[in-house]
Structure 1
Amino acid sequence: MNENNDTYNDVPESDYHIPVLYKETLEGLQIQPDGIYVDCTFGGGGHSRGILSQLGPEGKLVVFDQDADAEQNVPDDNRMLFVPHNFRHLQRFLRLHRFSKVTGILADLGVSSHQFDEAERGFSIRFDGPLDMRMDRRQPVTAVDIIKTYTQQQLHKLFEQYGEVTNAKTLAAHLVQFRQHASLTSIDSFRALLQPVVKGNPNKYLAQVFQALRMEVNDEMGALKDMLQQAAEVLQPGGRLAVITFHSIEDRMVKNFFKQGTFDEVPDNPFSTEQREDVWKVITKKPVTASEEELKRNPRSRSAKLRVAEKL
């Protein structure tokens, strides 16, 4: 897999989102013109347009996105089907539309630039707006609900695991102590509440807190687990799964699943007699990361890691 691209002139860009690791992902999927492909995270449609450009008239592309805003980016192409739901329902909707097996699956787990840039969605610390963070606005639980109802222990675990917040325990205790008397109607009011416990660079600290809340609101880890398990079921032998992660927990989960079919580290035991049937052939021995050129064009690609595996 070539990680060095000389030019990015053909990467489809929009105000909605710039697709990361575009060429590397398409290369990793090894698009077959008559194949059936799934883009689990349609977003701005950048990766999808790349897949469509390599599909012939018999090829099909099924795209998922739980964010209603993404539907505005769907091209007029009868080879493509848009499913307005979370990719954790991958198998259910493929069956519903009579696709028993598919040739390749892509999941770009990053939040779209559009979501970050829309103040009323509550994803970014750059704007004031409601503390929402729902990707699917049909679901009832918002970031405010989590801040107000989670126990101190739950909040501690959340900020420690998903945000890697250095003083997660102190932060959780502070929120529980003051949340009933604080106004949590907006991002600005939440920032003011956090002010006494912020450590180090305030912007980095707040970004970590927001990341943790967003991952919890949208159950991102649970959805990823569901999708990976179903991908193993719906991919045909020789089909490929490409996953782009932006968080160390996500990347570790994908790495372990590709390597040993589980989500946890399995220690090597030379005395074990248990026979494990391999499901995947790992294509990317190390995760593919953005080139220097891409980093200049799109700084948000800095934490992106692409892993590709082939179904045995």
Structure 2
Amino acid sequence: MKHKSVLLKESIVAIEPKSGGIYVDMTLGAAGHTKKILELSSPDGVVIAFDKDKEAIKHAEDTLKKTYEDRLILINDDYANLREHLDRLNIETVDGVIMDLGVSLDQLTSDRGFSFNVDAELDMRMDRRKPLTAEQIVNHWDLEDIERILRVYGEEKFSRRIAKAIVKNRPITSTKQLAEIIELAVPRNVSRKIHPATRSFQALRIVVNDELESLQIGLKSAIESLSPKGVVCVISFHSLEDRIVKNIFRDYKKEGIIRPLTKKPITPTEDEIKSNRHARSAKMRCAIRLPQEA
């Protein structure tokens, strides 16, 4: 199955890529957004694409770099370091920024433990240069810390029961083993619209990759790096991310720096959800940079 970029049409319409523009894809992934921006900003629009995952960078090098050459700048780093790289490239402002915070299908089907649908080691690192893994959290963190991350980052109401089950069943070495432990810890009479392990896996991934801290730093840098009338779009997939985006937009709106383009987040159409079930929880918020008075 091929990865499909969520809300691709809607985000591209909001950013309006044009020839001569400079755009940033903060989350390259399978390069769907980057490719479309490059196509629409021909002949000389530039895309600077970030990804912590070395495999995502390599995929873009293999599939896009020969075609777009100097118009595509690939950076294997956390997008929280956006400003540092723009300064290195002598770029003061950019004309559009997109952030798709979802995990790519390539990552979900990899052997790095992002999904319980693939039995694999408990890694979950997007950047394998980083030391912390999900295996270390599950097997070496204490009960209170595991309970806290499941409750805070997974919004898991059975966080205490799950944390106790994890500690009791150590050592845990695979995604399948962890998912089974979590499933047995959750009461059977609870409504199961999603797999019982979904929220816990989400929480572990967020902590391993420091995702929410990166989002706060990266989004603020993106807004501050926009040129007047430049647009930033953020596609999130759970309430913690959406809340951060909403609050940052609110703060910058109060300062007269941006104007949100919609009162409520944009969500996928029924047709998109039917063709791509991973789109079902997506929400997109966009904002435009306002001219600043001298």
TM-aligned CA deviation for residue 295 of structure 1: 1.0
Q: Which amino acid aligns with 1:151?
A: D
Shift in alpha-carbon separation, 1:98–1:27, aligned structure 2, 3 A? same
Residue 234 of structure 1 corresponds to: 225
SS of 1:73's equivalent?
helix
Aligned 8 A contact 2:166 2:178 in 1: no
CA distance in 1, matches of 2:183, 2:35: 43
SS of 1:205's equivalent?
coil
Q: Which amino acid aligns with 2:140?
A: T
Higher helix proportion (structure 1 or 2): 2
Identity %: 37
Residue 143 of structure 1 corresponds to: 134
Are 2:157 and 1:154 equivalent residues in the alignment? no
Give the TM-score taking structure 1 as reference length.
0.85
Residue 11 of structure 1 corresponds to: none
Residue 250 of structure 2 corresponds to: 259
Residue 125 of structure 1 corresponds to: 116
Shift in alpha-carbon separation, 1:141–1:175, aligned structure 2, 3 A? same
Aligned 8 A contact 2:20 2:46 in 1: yes
CA distance in 2, matches of 1:203, 1:290: 19
Residue 92 of structure 1 corresponds to: 84
* Superposition CA RMSD, Å: 1.8
Q: Any gaps of 5 or more consecutive residues in structure 2?
A: none
Give the TM-score taking structure 2 as reference length.
0.90
Residue 113 of structure 1 corresponds to: 105
Q: Which amino acid aligns with 1:297?
A: S
Are 2:166 and 1:175 equivalent residues in the alignment? yes
Residue 52 of structure 1 corresponds to: 38
- Which of residues 257, 260, 265 in structure 2 aligns to 1:279? 257
Cα deviation per residue 1:153-183 (whole Å; 9 max; x = unaligned)?
322221112212221122223333x25xx23
SS of 2:90's equivalent?
coil
Q: Any gaps of 5 or more consecutive residues in structure 1?
A: 1-14, 263-275
TM-aligned CA deviation for residue 192 of structure 1: 4.2
Residue 279 of structure 2 corresponds to: 301
Residue 54 of structure 2 corresponds to: 68
Paired residues, number: 281
Q: Which amino acid aligns with 1:89?
A: N
CA distance in 2, matches of 1:285, 1:194: 38
CA distance in 2, matches of 1:224, 1:292: 28
CA distance in 2, matches of 1:164, 1:63: 31
Cα deviation per residue 1:250-289 (whole Å; 9 max; x = unaligned)?
0111011112239xxxxxxxxxxxxx52221010211111
Residue 101 of structure 1 corresponds to: 93
